[in-house]
Amino acid sequence: MKPQLLNATQYAGLLKIGDVLIPGDGELPSFSKSRCAEQADRMLAHMYEGDRSGVLFLLSLLRYLPRFAVRGLFRLSDRHESLPGPVAAAARLVNLGVKGVVMTLYYSDVGEGAAVFPVLHWDAKVVETPGAAEDGAVKPLPPPAEAAEPGAVESARAGFASLRRVGLDERLAHLSSLKRVILRRREEIIDRIQRDTGKSRSDALISEIFGVLDNFAWLEKHGRKALADHKQHTPLALMGKASWTWYEPLGVILVIAPWNYPFYQAIVPIACAFAAGNAVVFKPSEWTPLEGLIEDLLAEAQFAPNWVRVAYGDGAVGADLVGQKPDKIFFTGSTRTGRKILAQAAELLIPVELELGGKDAMIVFDDVDLRRAAAGAAWGALTTTGQSCTSVERLYVQRSIHPAFKQALVEEVNRLEQRIDSDGDADLGAMTVDFQVKIVARHLDDARAKGAEVLGREWDGVSRLVPPVVVDGVTPDMLLAREETFGPVIPLIPFDGEDEVVRLANDSEYGLTASVWSKDLERAKRVARALEVGGVSINNVMATEANPALPFGGVKNSGFGRYKGEHGLHAFCNVKSVLVDKDSSKIEANWYPYTKEKYRLFTNLTVNLFGDGLRSFVRFALAGLKLERYSNKAAKQGRKGGSR
């Protein structure tokens, strides 16, 4: 399949240049053999108009140069910084344009996008779209242009029809079997998570594998009870009847996931939705698809293929799936995308649950165990290289302990080991995507420019192995205090009093979780109640989400809806209310006919039912009997007979 934005000459030029730059080396295929040239349309479509025509022109030109000349030209272009003015500009153009295109296509295709930037020594402006991201992020290069598998939702709907014959016990048995498969294949899963995300092995084990298994254990132990029919209270006025809630599936749930916890964010929502009897269409992030893994695990656990469909692709694919009208959307990702999905779903009236970004506060009062609080802050801010929605992103420390706390925290952070490990021995791994790395660099630059002090190891501002840092002197006007940084950065902010810190913490558009640290539990709880968030850990960090019994979700721009625990299971249900009346002969007092006498008797009943004391109760009982007798008589005899 030849890219459509290239004519035959330009395509031949691209292949020739590609093979000169990347001839292949036994391990990696040559450029033309990698077939990544087929993705050129996607890349060219993201260029500025002017850049695109420049690249097309160069491709045509280089097509006609002999190979040795092309090679020589590239060598020259590598040295553009030492060349004289106009020659340097031309050489830089070659570097930015043709060479950039080839390298980006090739390396992003083999999932090693990180390698592109060091190779080019170049800020990949070529994939930036003007105004595309208000935060200045580099627009991601989408994966191969594929639409959502047509009918993914329809196919899951057929799966749902077959699931209707699979009872709760059988569904839970399937989940137990999936748990065993995951437990057995854990090391292989961690390999895959690491390959897609670059996170440390221990992060993958603790937050993804353990977290998933813990949720399965909760479902095994409590799922049956949470999804069983619940008998509800029936009031006196409805005496003789029984009330129930039944927890029935909604149909097809569309789960859309982000890139930071690709395994956990796949399995936990799938398991909850499935336990409730739904079929699922799951769309992983285009950056961390774990391609084929989820299907493989489910198949081994004997799930029928259309109970859970996996649809790969970018945001366009996600939007296409929303358009296929699932019965509910469970979205985890950025606030910006959440808004888009909500708008699209509003037109189709599809219920949506949004688990969005955060800017979580950790509040440390002066009576804490300093060493423990500093260790908690380091982990809470840096686990998964700071790329958690509930990472500590603002660390408020009471002024009297600020210097000592800062010292303990910096010591803790400087001790951490960072690399992409194979043995579980590294504390931090790499960040996952370059556009997020750029946001971290921008936030740090902004903080420095506004007078903050960045404490920690040096960083070139480009490598994905972003070293953990503490930033002191952060003020509310800094990006670090306002926008989601999503990287290994700990902004320290001193405070004096309780009211002040509550005001500062609540002064955020986000409201996901928070933590409050103090030996004075009354104070800690008071502050926890005053915080505008979906969950608070007291004297611990990121701990509410560690308990699968606790519902998880946010307020404000962090989204709405809850998942996990009993509340969360019910979010995947049609909670059906049922009232059973065993008596088939009685005419209800509130049914027709309405008469003056009935009005009097009903008033008497109302006043005594809602009055206080035993006397009222007795009167209510008598009024009830009278009203019931009257109502039945009136219904039999008609209005005239009954009103006598």
What are the residues binding ligand NAD (CB under 6 A)? 256-260, 283, 285-286, 314-315, 318-319, 322, 332-334, 337, 340-341, 355-358, 389, 484, 486, 512, 554
CB 511 within 8 A of CB 558: yes
Residue type, 93: L
| Closest distance of CB 253 from ligand NAD, Å | 14
Q: Between β-strands 535-538 and 392-398, what pairing exists: parallel, antiparallel or unpaired?
A: unpaired
3-state secondary structure of 247: strand
Q: In this structure, what token pair is assigned to residue 479?
A: 């990006």
How far from chain centre, in Å, is Cα 386?
Answer: 14
| Closest distance of CB 476 from ligand NAD, Å | 20
> How many of the other CB atoms lie within 10 Å of CB of 643?
14
Give the nearer residue to ligand NAD in terms of CB position, either 287 or 495. Answer: 287
Give the nearer residue to ligand NAD in terms of CB position, either 358 or 488. Answer: 358
Verify whether residue 389 is a known catalytic residue.
yes
Give the nearer residue to ligand NAD in terms of CB position, either 401 or 439. Answer: 439
- Please identify which of the residues 355, 393, 412, 545 carries the catalytic annotation: 355
Q: In this structure, what token pair is assigned to residue 175?
A: 């989940």
Q: Residues 463-496, buried b or exposed e (16+ Cβ, 10 A)?
A: ebbbbbbbbbebeeebbbbbbbbbbbbbbbbbbe
Rounded alpha-carbon distances, angstroms, from residue 349 to 110, 329, 352, 643: 39, 11, 9, 48
Say which DSSP state 587 is in.
Answer: P
- Please identify which of the residues 36, 272, 389, 573 carries the catalytic annotation: 389
| Closest distance of CB 463 from ligand NAD, Å | 20
Cis omega before residue 284 (within 30°)? no
Give the nearer residue to ligand NAD in terms of CB position, either 333 or 624. Answer: 333
Return the residue nearest ligand NAD (CB atom).
Answer: 318
Give the nearer residue to ligand NAD in terms of CB position, either 283 or 394. Answer: 283
3-state secondary structure of 25: coil
Give the nearer residue to ligand NAD in terms of CB position, either 13 or 113. Answer: 113
Q: SS in 3 state form for 166-202?
A: CCHHHHHHHHHHHHHHHHHCHHHHHHHHHHHHCCCHH
| Closest distance of CB 153 from ligand NAD, Å | 13
Q: Between β-strands 559-560 and 510-511, what pairing exists: parallel, antiparallel or unpaired?
A: unpaired
Q: Residues 216-253, buried b or exposed e (16+ Cβ, 10 A)?
A: bebbeeebeebbeeeeeeeeeeeeeeeeeeebebbbbb
| Closest distance of CB 355 from ligand NAD, Å | 3
Residue type, 128: E
Verify whether residue 573 is a known catalytic residue.
no
| Closest distance of CB 627 from ligand NAD, Å | 52
| Closest distance of CB 561 from ligand NAD, Å | 10
Give the nearer residue to ligand NAD in terms of CB position, either 102 or 193. Answer: 193
CB 447 within 8 A of CB 491: yes
Q: Could you tell me how many residues make up the chain?
A: 644
Give the nearer residue to ligand NAD in terms of CB position, either 100 or 269. Answer: 269
> What's phi and psi for 183, nearest 5 deg?
-60, -45
| Start-to-end Cα distance in the chain | 89
Q: Catalytic site residues?
A: 355, 389
